[in-house]
Structure 1
Amino acid sequence: MAWYHTYFKGLPQKAWKQNQDDEYTEYEVDFLRDTLDLKEGSKVLDVMAGYGRHALPLADFGAQLTCVDLSSEYCEELEKISSQENLPVTVICEDILTVTFENNSFDAAYCFGNSFSFFPREDMQKFLQKISDILVDGGLFSIHTENLAESIFPNFQVRNWMPVEGNITYLAQNDYNPEEGYIEAEQTFISDSERVTLNVRQHIYTLGELNFMFRSAGLKIIGAFGNLEADPFMLGDEQLYLVAKKI
């Protein structure tokens, strides 16, 4: 079982949610609406949807969201809110690699929240092929990641820490495996007397490698940006916003 199957619960799940910036999330939602050319009634897949910080406002806009996530806590929260607000959201609490959809069933899809690096190369190619298969011709797919090689390696940190709102402290010990192309991290979350330590594996891709994998799956990258203002991605940019089109 992959590490991310059991990661998002308890203190780590709480820390992730509390570390999100609501105003920045609004900018990301606007970015998704624009770059995915979303309209009222558009059928959209949110991969690793979490508690729906992007899906809920997109559904409120009028898109029909299908949200896939592994965290039962996030899925229950998302189902509750979407039901209370009568929003067009379908929640699937399962691994995206094992979920089945009909081909050509979505107008657009996205994978935000820095979860794109969860998959090793073989699974990543399967994932991208699945996205390509379920998109209509000309359908759009967008990802966000802070774990691109061009972002990580110019200032690689073996150890780092940061405070999180709600009296939580996050610490990480990072070890890069160059032969396999991943970072093995020991992450620790501390809140008062509670302490949780987990091992995480993030797979690191270059933009050129992603370009090859996307094309192999029938997806053409039409934009690679270093920020939400759509400036072209450059070496050292801290994050990547990528948009691809099914060809």
Structure 2
Amino acid sequence: MAWYQESFGNDYLVVYKHRDLQGAYHEVKKMMDWLDLPQGVEVLDLCCGMGRHSMALAEFGYEVTGVDLSEVLLDEAVKQDVNKQVKWLRGDMRDVPLEQPYDAVVNLFTSFGYFDEDEQNEKVFHEIHRLLKANGRFIIDFLNPVYVKANLVPQSERSEEGLLIRESRSIEDGCVRKRIVISQEDGPDRHYLEQVKLYERASFETMLRKAGLHIDDVFGGYDGQSYDAQTSSRMIFVGHKEG
């Protein structure tokens, strides 16, 4: 079983409990300016996870569909979406079970680079191209690999709901890997791996171009600052489908 099939389960909800809707609203507010689209248009949130950004996009007036592979995370999204603002759908980001094109596709919070082979990761960009209307807009929000390598925190631990969560991080085989150990008094330790393949800007640009996606801007954070390889924590590509 691939790491992402094991890791995005019930324990993930506990490990990332601290990520709140308010933060998602703040991030999405700036993204609305980047998308420059009127309210009411259709937006696909590809790899929506627990749905924080999907629901924020819906609050701002978009018609939103959220797609994710994890049934656990989708169930949590449905639970949080009390007003049924978003359409939720289970699917693999390389082969999304949708035919209709969207005005915009967003892939947020480092939901890319999950696969070992470059060609599998590139399939995601070709799917984004397929799912966009002509001149449709996209946002791909990735980590900045240069910054990650320079600022990696090797070890950390914290307590959450009576659990001890220990996280170790390393750069191996061109990937940033996080190993998570969850301990509790009355049971064995539970182990998880999270892994993202590190692609620098030039590689991203090549892959996007091959997929027929044109880059309009590259931002270094949710505040809209231009990307700087040494100082930016994020690498956020904003652009449109060519033709």
With structure 2 as the length reference, what TM-score do the two structures score?
0.87
Counterpart-to-counterpart distance in 2, 1:198 and 1:246: 36
Measure how far apart 1:142 and its partner are. Answer: 0.8
Q: How does 1:80-229 map to 2 (within 5 A)?
A: 80-82=79-81, 84-87=82-85, 89-102=86-99, 105-120=101-116, 121-146=118-143, 148-157=144-153, 159-163=154-158, 166=161, 168-178=163-173, 181-190=174-183, 193=186, 195-229=189-223
Structure 2 counterpart of 1:58, which letter? L
Q: C-alpha distance in 1, partners of 2:65/2:21?
A: 22
- Structure 2 vs 1, CA of residues 170 and 42 (structure 1 numbering), >3 Å: closer, same or farther? same
1:67 equivalent in alignment to 2:66: yes
1:96 is paired with a residue of what secondary structure? coil
Structure 2 CA distance, aligned partners of 1:191 and 1:109? 40
Correspondence for 2:23: 24
Letter in 1 for 2:102: F
Partner SS for 1:117: coil
Asked if structure 1 preserves the Cα contact closer than 8 Å seen for 2:156 and 2:168, the reply is: no
CA distance in 1, matches of 2:132, 2:141: 18
Change (3 A) 1:9 1:67: same
* Structure 1 segments unaligned to the other structure (5+ residues): none
1:165: Cα distance to partner?
5.2
Q: Percent identity?
A: 26
**Alpha-carbon distance in structure 2 between the residues aligned to 1:201 and 1:231:** 27
Number of residue pairs matched?
Answer: 239
Q: Structure 2: how far apart are the matches of 1:192 and 1:11?
A: 16
Shift in CA distance, 156/229, structure 1 to aligned 2, threshold 3 Å: closer
8 A contact 1:222–1:244 mirrored in 2: yes
Q: CA deviation at 1:113?
A: 2.3
Q: TM-score, normalised by structure 1?
A: 0.86
Aligned CA distance change for structure 1 residues 86 and 24 (closer, same or farther; 3 Å): closer
1: CA distance between counterparts of 2:233 and 2:159? 19
CA offsets per residue over residues 179-227 of structure 1, 9 Å max, x none? xx22344222345656321123220010111011111111112111112
Mapped to 1, the partners of 2:159 and 2:33 lie a distance apart of: 31
